[in-house]
Structure 1
């Protein structure tokens, strides 16, 4: 079996983080804790590694993975523009369970799948995962489960599904919430749309009520979003 490191054990923390960094550098997969559910991670700038992630999950290119970043500056390097309403969301909810879809920086050399020129970015609220991201750079990360199965909220669940397709497993204990991130589409704020609105693609840990507190009428009405 692929090695598992308990990050709560000081004797395993440094070796686990080191092996995770090395695995990412080799284009391999790592399972890591986040503030929502466990994720399976790959180097976002390695097309082969991203394809390995999709294959491990049994997912096609039409379902590209989100990208986790260590900070606001890393997000800005990946997206074409950060509109003012999006900055408000980042200031309020990052690090945290909000994934934001924006037009990707056109100059980037990467292949996350069929993204239609966009990227979904998030800064997770997990100290050790943020430390790893600061060292590896942005990681393509999807929930650590087989497509169609429940998201893993423990390392054992993730390991039972992904097995040897993952090189290193990092155990941070049971997930804090077990609730997936909320995903919002902010692409209409870029490019001069006449009536830009934030669309909720998936309501998760952050509610529409919380989003509306930040954006007011810039949040698409719920009925239209559901439709």
Structure 2
């Protein structure tokens, strides 16, 4: 098992390799945005499946949001973050190089996890996915994850705090004040009902 602290994790990420870390929902595998291909490679993930950009606070992600959606972004972020909610929103023109979707949108999330937030505060936003091999249910234990990804460094210390094991809710921004539910998860978004 390759356990690392935040300082070593930053060096690993800067070298272009991913890190596995806990979130409030499922363990995540993350990388610096310029190295997004590495997650697809390690997970054996289809390139048509976009990644999620995680931040440590919503102000860290606002520059990634298109001007047309900023008001709605701020409204939802202030109510549901940190937490198990992913917003899929039009990306800012300045950040199109990190987009992994085909429609110029970006999934954004702030996990309610002290370890995740501490790491991302140091590294800046990370492109992420759940820490499992594509098509397989992943483990939520460090031991299980290290078997699936023996060469990937894992953020310590362990044991990690509580992980729910349930995926985040995903909502998609259509236009001002108009959100669509993509995947129901832990969070029930009142604005949609």
Indicate whether the TM-score tops 0.5: yes
Q: Aligned equivalents of 2:73 and 2:64: distance in 1?
A: 14
Matches within 5 A, 1:41-52: 41-44=30-33, 46=34, 49-52=35-38
1:91 matched residue in structure 2: 78
2:22 matched residue in structure 1: 33
Displaced runs of 4 or more, over 6 A? none
- Quote how far apart the aligned CAs of 1:21 are: 0.8
Q: Aligned equivalents of 2:19 and 2:62: distance in 1?
A: 25
Q: Aligned equivalents of 1:115 and 1:137: distance in 2?
A: 24
1:60 matched residue in structure 2: 46
Report the CA distance shift for 1:106/1:149 in structure 2 as closer, same or farther (over 3 A). same
Q: How big is each residue's C-alpha offset from its partner over 1:166-217, in whole Å with a ceiling of 9 and x where there is no partner?
A: 2x1124526431111101001422xxxxxx521111101112xxx12xx2xx
Whether 1:76 and 2:62 are equivalent positions in the alignment is yes
Equivalent in 84, 89, 103 of residue 90 of structure 2: 103
Higher strand share: 2
Q: In the alignment, is the contact (CA less than 8 A) between 2:12 and 2:18 conserved in 1? A: yes
Report the CA distance shift for 1:198/1:109 in structure 2 as closer, same or farther (over 3 A). closer
Larger radius of gyration: 1
1:198 matched residue in structure 2: 179
Q: How big is each residue's C-alpha offset from its partner over 1:37-85, in whole Å with a ceiling of 9 and x where there is no partner?
A: 10001001x1xx2101011111122101101011121111111134444
1:4 matched residue in structure 2: 3
Count of aligned residue pairs for this structure pair: 190
TM-score (norm. length: structure 2):
0.90
The unaligned stretches of length 5 or more in structure 1 are 6-15, 190-195, 222-227
Cα RMSD between the aligned structures? 1.8
2:113 matched residue in structure 1: 126
Q: Aligned equivalents of 2:165 and 2:141: distance in 1?
A: 9
- Quote how far apart the aligned CAs of 1:35 are: 0.6
Q: Aligned equivalents of 2:119 and 2:26: distance in 1?
A: 17
Q: Counterpart of 1:178 in 2: which secondary structure?
A: coil
Q: How big is each residue's C-alpha offset from its partner over 1:98-137, in whole Å with a ceiling of 9 and x where there is no partner?
A: 0001100111252343341010000011112111111111
Report the CA distance shift for 1:73/1:172 in structure 2 as closer, same or farther (over 3 A). farther
